[in-house]
């Protein structure tokens, strides 16, 4: 992870005092710089004389109810780390606004590689397929963790996850009047809840935003050493989580994590069918039905997230200088979501 060279406006003396009391005695000066990512929760590199951390905080200003829950992020990475899952080590949570202005937590700064392009152009061709299967296997590992054993039995509700997510993001989308409306988003808000597959009561821990740029790979090997950005995690349907990760195969290039229309075999990547088979083998499933619905749902959900970024940008409290670039994806994602819904029978 590479932080911006620009200095942060965080109150360093107050932060240092909190770290001395709750994390570790800070030796030497403390410096903070903001990462360019982190569209929802601002993220900073914190360096002391002998240690480096990452700080995640809520954005300043008026926030939508239930959004930006850094407290939940801290809880999930702490619990999963105890289960041997690859997450950064957590060091401390601060819920006192008086320290730096909003709640925040500190975690380990992972040294490795983050890939933003799902075709992995930074890797040699022979390393791309193993890297993809490493991503797949780590997500399968997450879905196999027992929430009760991890102390997360109350981290979300049992069953009905997709319906609740559709209701949640419909509310978020419709409540953010600043960002305006989109015809395909409106149509999907009506079509999706009426066409949810019968997924039973299957419930696991889900990440909610599992894609290559939220993973840290080893500096030299095609191996995932940490999964980042747990803001959207909960207990939910693993097929919704996996299909969100899988939708890179159906998302047009230029859109977030999109590579449809490209030949994965030529790129040295597994095909969509091979990737589905790998996940099913790792989780003991025979297959996944109604993928087009899941793709429509996930593309719509991502568009709803970006719709929120658009609203924050207009209101002046977007957490990243890349918010404007993200917002341009809203309409293409809504269009792509409706295309998948049409393949699933929407009219």
102 shares its domain with 134: no
Q: What is the mean pLDDT of the chain?
A: 90
Q: Which pLDDT band holds residue 25 (cuts at 50, 70, 90)?
A: confident
Residues 87, 130, single domain; the answer is: no
Q: What is the pTM of this model?
A: 0.85
CATH value at residue 236: 3.90.1200.10
- The reply to whether 103 and 145 lie within a common domain is no
Task: Please check whether residues 260 and 141 belong to one and the same domain.
Answer: yes
Residue 3 in this model has a pLDDT that exceeds 70: no
Does residue 316 share a domain with residue 199?
A: yes
Whether residues 310 and 221 share a domain: the answer is: yes
Weakest-pLDDT range from 116-125, 215-224, 250-259: 250-259
For residue 19, is it within any domain? yes
Number of H helices, E strands in the chain: 12, 9
Same domain, 330 and 186: yes
| Structural domain span for residue 17 | 12-108
**pLDDT confidence tier of residue 150, bands split at 50, 70 and 90:** very high
Q: Is residue 1 part of a domain?
A: no
Same domain, 103 and 140: no
156 and 190 housed in the same domain = yes
Residue 94 sits in the same domain as residue 186: no
Which of 29 and 149 is assigned the larger pLDDT? 149
Q: Which residue would you say has higher pLDDT here, 61 or 169?
A: 169
Q: Are residues 87 and 151 both part of a single domain?
A: no
Cα Rg of the chain, angstroms: 20
Q: With the CA atoms of 336, 337, 342 and 347 taken in that order, what torsion angle do they form, in degrees rounded to the nearest 10?
A: -120
CB 72 within 8 A of CB 103: no
92 falls within a domain:
yes
Spatial distance between the Cα atoms of 173 and 300, rounded to a whole number of angstroms: 10
In a domain, 301, yes or no: yes
Give the confidence band of 39 by pLDDT, cuts at 50, 70, 90.
low
CA distances from 146 to 87, 150, 315 (A): 17, 6, 41
DSSP codes joined into one string, 198-214? --TT--EEE-SS-SGGG
Q: Domain check: are 149 and 298 in the same one?
A: yes
The count of domains in the chain is 2
CA 22, chain centre distance (Å): 28
How far apart are alpha carbons 38 and 269 in whole angstroms?
Answer: 27
Residue keyed to tokens 């393949």:
343
5 lies in some domain: no
Is residue 2 one of the residues assigned to a domain?
Answer: no
SS3 53: strand
In a domain, 17, yes or no: yes
Average pLDDT over residues 118-130: 96
pLDDT given at position 231: 85
At 316-329, the pLDDT tens digits run 877 666 778 888 88
* Residue where a domain stops, chosen among 108, 141, 168: 108
Q: What is the pLDDT of residue 201?
A: 65
Answer whether residue 273 is part of any domain. Answer: yes
* Of residues 24 and 47, more confidently modeled: 47
Q: What is the dihedral of CA 108, 112, 117, 120, to 10 degrees?
A: -150
Percent of the chain with pLDDT over 70: 93
């Amino acid at each position: 992870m590479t932080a911006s060279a620009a200095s942060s406006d965080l109150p360093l003396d107050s932060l240092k005092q909190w770290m001395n009391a709750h994390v570790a005695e800070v030796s030497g000066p403390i410096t903070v710089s903001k990462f360019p990512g982190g569209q929802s929760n601002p993220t900073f590199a914190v360096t002391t004389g002998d240690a480096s951390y990452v700080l995640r905080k809520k954005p300043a200003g008026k926030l939508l109810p239930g959004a930006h829950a850094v407290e939940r992020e801290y809880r999930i990475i702490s619990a999963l780390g105890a289960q041997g899952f690859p997450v950064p080590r957590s060091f401390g949570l601060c819920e006192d606004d008086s320290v730096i202005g909003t709640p925040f937590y500190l975690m380990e700064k992972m040294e490795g590689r983050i890939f933003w392009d799902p075709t992995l152009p930074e890797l040699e061709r022979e390393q791309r397929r193993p890297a993809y299967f490493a991503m797949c296997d780590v997500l399968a590992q997450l879905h196999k963790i027992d929430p009760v054993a991890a102390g997360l039995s109350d981290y979300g509700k049992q069953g009905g996850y997709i319906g609740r997510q559709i209701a949640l993001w419909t509310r978020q989308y419709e409540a953010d009047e600043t960002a305006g409306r989109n015809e395909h988003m409106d149509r999907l808000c009506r079509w999706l809840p009426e066409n949810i597959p019968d997924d039973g009561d299957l419930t696991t821990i889900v990440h909610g935003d599992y894609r290559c740029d939220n993973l840290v790979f080893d500096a030299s090997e095609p191996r995932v050493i940490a999964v980042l950005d747990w803001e959207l995690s909960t207990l939910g349907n693993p097929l919704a989580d996996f299909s969100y990760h899988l939708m890179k195969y159906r998302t047009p290039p230029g859109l977030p994590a999109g590579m449809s229309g490209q030949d994965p075999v030529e790129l040295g990547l597994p095909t969509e069918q091979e990737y589905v088979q790998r996940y099913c083998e790792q989780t003991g499933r025979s297959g996944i039905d109604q993928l087009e619905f899941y793709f429509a749902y996930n593309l719509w959900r991502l568009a709803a997230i970006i719709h929120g970024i658009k609203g924050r940008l207009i209101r002046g409290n977007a957490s990243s200088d890349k918010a404007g670039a993200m917002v341009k994806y809203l309409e293409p994602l809504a269009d792509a979501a409706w295309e998948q819904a049409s393949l699933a029978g929407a009219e």
